[in-house]
Every structure is written in C-alpha cells, then in structure tokens.
Structure 1
C-alpha cells in the first residue's frame, strides 16, 4: 500500500515553506516543546535560554526555539482553548512527521515531548492559590477528541461513565460528552517531581458558564461545581479547572507523543479567592519545567 498523500487543502503550507497557522518551518521545531497560552509568556520562558535560534509570530501563535542547558527547546503560545490546541498539536505533529516536499508521512516517526505551562482554578481545600498542579488525568468538557477515530482506545471509559452518572448527565441530550485521558506517566512523574500536586483536571469549553461562573446569565445547573468538587474516582478527586489539558493529552496519545500539563492555581473556587498578581511566581514554575523537560 502506498503512503498517504496529504492534499493542499488538508496540509496547508505557506509560500515560505512554513506550516499555515504557526508559520514554523520543519527545521525550526525542537523535539522538546513547551506550550503556553499567553504570547507574552513566550518571552518569559525564552529569557532563560542560553541562546535563541529562531523567533516567529503569527496571530496568537508566537514561537521561539533556542537552547537551555544544552537542550534544544521550542516554546509556543497557543492562545486560549482546546480548539487552539487542536491547531497547534496537528501542526507540530505535521512539522515533525510529514515530509513537506513529498506531502507524505516520513519513514521514521519522531516522538515529541510536550509540556503545557498554564494557570488554573483550584477546586479543593488542598489546592490553594499558588499551588502547582500536574494533570495526571484530564477530562475534556469540550468534546474535541470525540471527532477523532480511536478515542475509546486511549480514554478511561470507566471514569467517563462514573462522572456522567455523578453529574446526572447520562441521557441528557444537552449535556457535554466528556472524554477522560491520562497524561504520559513518565513525563508527568518527571515534571511534577516531589513538589507538585497530581490530580484530575477538567478542561472546560469556556471561562464563565462552563466553569460555573455566573454574571448576568443564569447557569443551567447552579450546583455543577459542587458536584464536580465532590466527585471521587479510585481515591482521586478533581483538583482544578483549566481550558486546554484534555486536548493536549488526548491528541498526544493518539499521535504517539508524550505530553502533560502543569498549572499554577491563581483562583480557588472552593475558597472563592483569586490572585491576579501571579506573573512573578509563575517564573518559578517555568524554571522547574525547563530543568526537568
């Protein structure tokens, strides 16, 4: 059987040989990748590099490749949400594993190591503001992975069913269809070390209603957060809300890459506290990830 040919409408390559959204060329991508949401945080990560090799910016996607203690690393911003993670993950996988000249998959697969550094909302008394959380498992309320073949083979179906029953979403046509996915165990253990909490992260499809925040619009289920906070599975609880970890873990697992997410808690929903002056402290988390990736 011949190799699959990727048509121009499916794999869009810019005139300069770069991938459509990220504007990165294959030779500009390192095999160790740090993802951040905020384009401004790319410079903060790269400020620790010993040398800068390339810098590219397109829309919300900003990328810098350089070296940190003899490790070649690319740091890329994704913007907010699982939809953007879908773009970034598919494009970096294409950069690593598709020949842009022949538009065919490369003979040898390249495994990428991807760590997302972000911020989140803590959901438990033991996840106060300033806590570092590594997502051992992620649950996607966004539905992204349900569009890809093979999702059942990589997801924790028992966890999905337990959560559906706990939230009362079974049989509800208007409720999300969550998917539950494990981070890469070796990578999560290495990155989290002995100074981060590991737990279950829920990736939401929005910042307000999907995370139980109510401004002028009333919520479909005002008790949703209390249900999520009380959920238990194999001795684990849901530790935090954010908006990207499930898509990253799920797509990485389907593609054959290693990925995990680490976040700093900047709001604790249980204690109803928030800290917007977190930017200095997150540099400590960045340094830990750079040392361990």
Structure 2
C-alpha cells in the first residue's frame, strides 16, 4: 500500500524546515507537551526549566523546549479558542509523525502526552475561585470535531443525546451540535490525583454570549447556564466553562495521543464572584503539572 503524501498546500513547511504557524522544527518537539493560552504564560512555565534548547515566537504561538528534573518538555502558547487548538495540534502531530523530507507519514506512531493548563469559570458551588479542575470529559460547543472523519468513534454519543434533550436543542438548526470526548484516563489519574476536582468541562465558541454573558446583545436562551449547571449524566455534573479542552481531547484521540486539560477557576458563575489576582496563584498549578507530567 502506497504511503500517503502530504502536498505543499496541505502541510506548509517554511524555508528553514520549520512548520508553518509554530515555526518549530521536528527535532525541537519533546514527547511531553504543555499548552497554555497566554503567550506570556510560556515564560512562567519555562522559568522552572533547568535548561532550554529552543525558544521560538510567531504570532500568538510561543514555544520553548527544555528540561525539568530530567524530563524533556515543550511548552506552547495557543492563544484563545478551539480554532487555534486545531492549528497547534495538527502542526505538533505533523512534527511528530510526518517526515518533513519525504512528506510521508512515519511508519511508527510517536505518541505525545499533552496537558493544557488554563483558566476557567466554575459552574458549581464546589468550584469557587482558586479550585483546580481536571477535565475527565470535554463537551464541545465549537463544532470543530464535526469536520473530521472518525468523530463518532471517539465521542460519547449517548451523553450527547442526553445533553441535547436537556438543553432543548434537539432539532434546532440555530444551536450547535455538541460533541463529548473523554480525556486520556491514565493521564487524568496521574495529573489530577486526589487533589483536583474532576468531571465535565464545556468548551465554548466565545467568551460572552456562548458562556451566557449578556452585555448589550440579548441572549438567545437566557436560561442556558441554568440548564448546563443542572445537567447530570451518570452522577457527574458539568464543572466549568473554558474555550479549548474539547478540540484538544478530540483531536488527540483521533491522532493517537494522550491529552487532558487542567484549569484554575478564576470566576464562579453561580455565586457571581471572581479572583482578578489569579495570576499570582496559577504558578502553583503549573508546578503541580510539571511534577506529574
């Protein structure tokens, strides 16, 4: 069987041999990868490294590869949103599993461990600001995974149907078609251990309306957040809102990588309180992930 060849228009490689958006070369990618949204947070993660071998910035994508207590780790900023996760995960997977000289897929899969460290909004009373949440399942309101073959094979279709019915979105062409993907179980156990809240996370396609925030434009469903907060499936509830976890979990599953998302709650949507000084506490979560990855 002939190997699949990836044309120049499909996999764009820069003149220096780096991948198009990230500007990272294959030899600079570690097997352990940390994703952060904020480019400034890359330096916070890398400040704990014992050494560095790669430091590249391109648009919102900042990449540093180095070592932490003998572990080789790459940290990459993605910017905000599932669309950027689509770029980062596809280019990271290409760096690992496509030969940039022949433009053909490598014979043996190189499996990566990917952990996203971010911030989120808590949706339950047990998720006040400062809580660390590990996403066992991610619910995508963004629609990204629906563009990829194999989507149904990696999703929990029963939960998707239950959620659609609960939200009243069944048959409504104006509402998104949510997808539900489990994070890698072993990675969740290793990263979350017994000191992080676990459960469902909703990844939204925006920060305001999609997360039930109303400024000058009225919401299509003013009761959306109440429905999300009250949803329960097999004894598990939706803990938090963020904007990237579903694309990460879904693409990683389709590509054969291990992934999960951990977030620190900076605002609780039910109690209406927020921690604007969260940046001084996020380093605790970073150090925890570095130790356990």
Q: Hey, what does 1:123 align to over in structure 2?
A: 123
Q: Aligned equivalents of 1:211 and 1:21: distance in 2?
A: 28
Q: Hey, what does 1:251 align to over in structure 2?
A: 251
Matches within 5 A, 1:174-253: 174-253=174-253
Q: Hey, what does 2:43 align to over in structure 1?
A: 43
Q: Aligned equivalents of 1:262 and 1:39: distance in 2?
A: 17
Q: Aligned equivalents of 1:4 and 1:279: distance in 2?
A: 45
Query: Offset of 1:107 from its aligned partner?
Result: 1.4
Q: Aligned equivalents of 1:59 and 1:30: distance in 2?
A: 21
Query: Offset of 1:269 from its aligned partner?
Result: 0.1
Q: Aligned equivalents of 2:276 and 2:254: distance in 1?
A: 35
Query: Offset of 1:44 from its aligned partner?
Result: 0.1
Q: Hey, what does 1:88 align to over in structure 2?
A: 88
Query: Offset of 1:260 from its aligned partner?
Result: 0.2
Query: Offset of 1:108 from its aligned partner?
Result: 1.3
* Residue aligned with 2:165, SS: helix
Q: Aligned equivalents of 1:187 and 1:278: distance in 2?
A: 25
Where does structure 1 differ by over 6 angstroms across 4 or more consecutive aligned residues?
A: none
2:2 is the counterpart of 1:2: yes
Query: Offset of 1:127 from its aligned partner?
Result: 0.4
Q: Aligned equivalents of 1:161 and 1:93: distance in 2?
A: 31
Q: Hey, what does 1:133 align to over in structure 2?
A: 133
Q: Hey, what does 1:260 align to over in structure 2?
A: 260
* Residue aligned with 2:88, SS: helix
Q: Hey, what does 1:79 align to over in structure 2?
A: 79
Q: Aligned equivalents of 2:104 and 2:47: distance in 1?
A: 36
The number of residues matched between the two structures is 293
Q: Aligned equivalents of 2:108 and 2:181: distance in 1?
A: 26
Unaligned runs of 5+ in 2: none
The one-character-per-residue Cα deviations of 1:17-65 (angstroms, maximum 9, x if unpaired) are 0000000000000010000000000000000000011100000000000
Q: Aligned equivalents of 1:289 and 1:234: distance in 2?
A: 28
Query: Offset of 1:146 from its aligned partner?
Result: 0.2
The one-character-per-residue Cα deviations of 1:240-291 (angstroms, maximum 9, x if unpaired) are 0000000000000000000000000000001001111101110000000000
Please provide the CA RMSD for this pair: 0.4
Q: Aligned equivalents of 1:160 and 1:109: distance in 2?
A: 30
Q: Aligned equivalents of 1:230 and 1:195: distance in 2?
A: 24
Query: Structure 1 length as normaliser, TM-score?
Result: 1.00
Q: Hey, what does 1:287 align to over in structure 2?
A: 287
The one-character-per-residue Cα deviations of 1:43-100 (angstroms, maximum 9, x if unpaired) are 0000000001110000000000000000000000000000000000000000000000
* Residue aligned with 2:228, SS: helix
Q: Aligned equivalents of 2:182 and 2:16: distance in 1?
A: 37
Q: Hey, what does 2:55 align to over in structure 1?
A: 55
Q: Hey, what does 1:28 align to over in structure 2?
A: 28
Unaligned runs of 5+ in 1: none
